[in-house]
Amino acid sequence: MKNTTVGPYAPWLWRIAGKGPGAWSLRNRRFRSLAAWKAGARRLALDRLAPPDSGSRPRARVVRRETVDGVAVEHLRWRLPYGPPTDAVFLKPEGATGKLPGVLALHSHGGNKILGWRKVARGGEAVHPIVSQHVALYNGGRWWANELAKRGYAVLAPDGFPFGSRRVRPGEVHPRVRGDAPAREPRTVAEIWRYNHWAGGHEHVMAKALFDAGTTWPGVVLAEDQRALDVLCARPEVDPARVGCGGLSGGGTRTVLLGGLDPRIKAAVCVGFMSTWRDFAVKTCWTHAWMSHVPLLAADMEFSELLGLRVPLPTLVLNTTRDQLFTQSEVRRADRVLKAVYRKAGAPERYRASFHPGPHKFDVPMQEEAFAFFDRWLA
Task: Enumerate the β-bridge partners of residue 87.
Answer: 77
Rounded to the nearest 10 degrees, the angle between the axes of helix 250-261 and helix 34-49 is: 130
Position 70 scores a pLDDT of 97
Section 3-26 average pLDDT: 91
Position 32 scores a pLDDT of 85
> How far is 203 from 113, CA to CA, in rounded Å?
10
Position 42 scores a pLDDT of 96
- pLDDT confidence of 3, banded at 50, 70, 90? confident
Q: Kindly list the domain boundaries of the chain, sorted by start residue.
A: 1-163+213-379
Position 202 scores a pLDDT of 96
Helix or strand or coil: residue 202?
helix
CATH fold, domain 1-163+213-379, is Rossmann fold (3.40.50)
Q: What is the pLDDT of residues 88-109, one digit of tens each?
A: 999 999 999 999 999 999 999 9
Say if strands 154-158 and 86-93 run parallel, antiparallel, or are unpaired: antiparallel
Please work out, in degrees rounded to the nearest 5, the angle formed at the alpha carbon of residue 71 by the alpha carbons of 68 and 72.
90
CA 58: distance to chain centroid?
Answer: 20
Burial of 148 from C-beta contacts in 10 A (0-12 / 13-18 / 19+): buried
Q: Is the distance from CB of 255 to CB of 247 less than 8 angstroms? A: yes
